[in-house]
Chain A
């Protein structure tokens, strides 16, 4: 069965801290999304990657294909980063399989 697991489920940190959210998957994938969902809001795509590393502002996403693992990092975290972060993978077709999300809270 194609599975996606995220950790931690919940994360609370002080403003300015370096944040890491992890995503592991069970079998080989063709692409991986990192998504952000604010309370009551829709979902925004942060990154899509299939190898290596991508950076956008204070956000960095990495993927290790051999270890079937991806991480999302946030540098110099800010309260506006508080959201649910979702990992989603494509197991070779058009559809995505989603993790259950990591709820991040950044305290001022």
Chain B
């Protein structure tokens, strides 16, 4: 079974703090994704990585950065957390497209509260 794990289920931080959210997958997937999920808005893509050290902005990258130094690990960084970044953060991974589309596998999510 594919396993995608996230470093924390719940996190409380203060405004201005630097926040790291980590995601690890164990199935050698090339693609990794960070989403945030807010009521009424659904999941929105923050950043996407298709290989080590490669990244692509999603729909809402402002206020976030990412790091992918190893294939299995994809980190989301909030350089200076703000209250409007309070949300559920979900990581996902998938194989790269090779003639067929591959489903994404999701982690359990991190509920981040910024006070």
B-binding residues in A (CB < 8 A)? 30-31, 33, 35, 41-45, 48, 50, 86, 88, 90, 94-96, 98-101
Question: Is A90 within 8 A of B101, CB to CB?
Answer: yes
Q: Which residues does chain A contribute within 8 Å of B42, judged by CB atoms?
A: 86, 98-101
A31, A42, A90: the one within 8 Å of B107 (CB): A42
Expressed in whole angstroms, the Cα–Cα distance for A79 and B45 within the complex equals 31
A-B contact count (CB 8 A): 49
Q: Which residues does chain A contribute within 8 Å of B101, judged by CB atoms?
A: 30-31, 48, 50, 90
The secondary-structure label for the interface of chain A is strand
Pairs A–B under 8 Å by Cβ, sample size 9:
A31-B101, A35-B106, A45-B104, A48-B101, A90-B101, A94-B48, A95-B48, A98-B44, A100-B42
Q: Is B28 an interface residue (CB 8 A)?
A: no
B39: nearest chain-A partner, CB-CB: A100
Question: Is A94 within 8 A of B58, CB to CB?
Answer: no
A33-B104, A50-B101, A94-B48 are contacts. A43–B90 as well, Cβ < 8 Å? yes
Q: Is B103 an interface residue (CB 8 A)?
A: yes
Question: Is B43 within 8 A of A86, CB to CB?
Answer: yes
B6: nearest chain-A partner, CB-CB: A42
B91: nearest chain-A partner, CB-CB: A42
Expressed in whole angstroms, the Cα–Cα distance for A99 and B42 within the complex equals 6
A99-B42, A100-B41 are contacts. A44–B97 as well, Cβ < 8 Å? no
Q: Which residues does chain A contribute within 8 Å of B61, judged by CB atoms?
A: none
Q: Which residues does chain B contribute within 8 Å of A45, judged by CB atoms?
A: 103-106
B58, B107, B108: the one within 8 Å of A95 (CB): B58
Question: Is B58 within 8 A of A42, CB to CB?
Answer: no
A43, A44, A48, A88: which has the most chain B beta carbons within 10 Å?
A43
Expressed in whole angstroms, the Cα–Cα distance for A43 and B42 within the complex equals 12
Question: In the assembled complex, how far is the CB of residue B105 from the closest CB belonging to chain A, in whole angstroms?
Answer: 7
Question: Is A94 within 8 A of B106, CB to CB?
Answer: no
Expressed in whole angstroms, the Cα–Cα distance for A33 and B101 within the complex equals 11
